[in-house]
Structure 1
Amino acid sequence: MEEFYSDFAQRARDLAEKADPFTRRRLLDLAQRYDLKSKPGSSRGRSSPPPRATPPTVLFSGSGES
């Protein structure tokens, strides 16, 4: 999986060379994020959901019988 991310980062850099300044900046930022994901053991490369501030609400209430 690391190779996939590093290859994708390089493709984004290649595209950035031919892009306008706004798109170039966005592509380079994207490449940087994929570089972080490509490094094994990188804590920033592995995104985990933020901790919940409140417990999930119950969608259904009642006995569960129809």
Structure 2
Amino acid sequence: MEEFYKGFAQWARDLAEKADPFTRLRLLDLAQRYDLRSRPGASHGRPPGPRATPPTLLFSRSGEG
């Protein structure tokens, strides 16, 4: 399983080289998370950190209530 995480981390880094600045940061963060998971003895059951959630206004519909 460690090889999978190492490979995925490298894949994310390769994509980050060609990405816009915002996406690059997100991909490098993802690569770092997978690097941590690739280490023997790492906690694989821990959920990833919090994600940014869009404002609820984007999901509300006018006239509902």
Please indicate the TM-score interval, normalised by the length of the shorter structure: 0.5 to 0.7
1:46 equivalenced with 2:40 (yes/no)? no
CA shift digits 1:1-48 (9 cap, x unpaired): 000000000000000000000000000000000000000012xx4234
**TM-score of the superposed pair, with normalisation by structure 1:** 0.65
Number of aligned residue pairs? 47
Could you say which residue in structure 2 is the equivalent of 1:23?
23
- Percent of aligned positions that are identical: 77
Which runs of at least 4 in structure 1 moved beyond 2 Å after TM superposition? 45-49
Q: TM-score, normalised by structure 2?
A: 0.66
- Paired position in structure 1 for 2:6: 6
Gaps of 5+ in 2: 48-65
> What are the ranges of 5 or more consecutive residues in structure 1 without an aligned counterpart?
50-66
Coordinate RMSD, CA, aligned: 1.4
